[in-house]
Amino acid sequence: MVLFGPLLSLWVSKHNIFANSHHYLYRKFLWSAWGWTLILTTSFILLLSLSAHRPLSRCLRHLSRLLVVGLLWWSLKHLLVVLEDAAGSCYEPMPQDSTDKSSDHPSFLLHENHGKASCLRARMQWRGSQPSS
């Protein structure tokens, strides 16, 4: 891959899904590496199971493992969002009074019952821990 990567970049079409960073599937699968994992692993399982003339039930058993792990990943991702919303606070910067020179740092107004996504959509500031997802 390291040796042939630069040479293959000359051969790839600029209109290919993988070369076009504005393509819908490219953005969705890049955002979620899980999409790539499912495509590649599912095709690998199907290729091996069906080429070895194994029963379809064995192939479905392997694919069900992917489904279970996918659901586990999805639920943990949403759990991290819930924990992040519970551990942070949403603040709105207060306008500075031009006559008040006593404080060098801006004042903030706390907004309750805002999650991180709604806080950032309202163009306010979110302060809290950010677990990796």
Cβ atoms of residues 118 and 88 within 8 Å:
no
Confidence band for 133, pLDDT divided at 50, 70 and 90: very low
DSSP 8-state symbol, 21 = T
Q: What angle separates helix 24-31 from helix 33-51, to the nearest 10 degrees?
A: 90
Considering the entire predicted model, what is its pTM? 0.55
Higher pLDDT, 69 or 4: 69
pLDDT digits (tens, 9 = 90+) for 51-74: 877 788 888 888 898 889 888 988
Parse the chain into domains and list their residue ranges. Answer: 33-87, 88-94+107-133
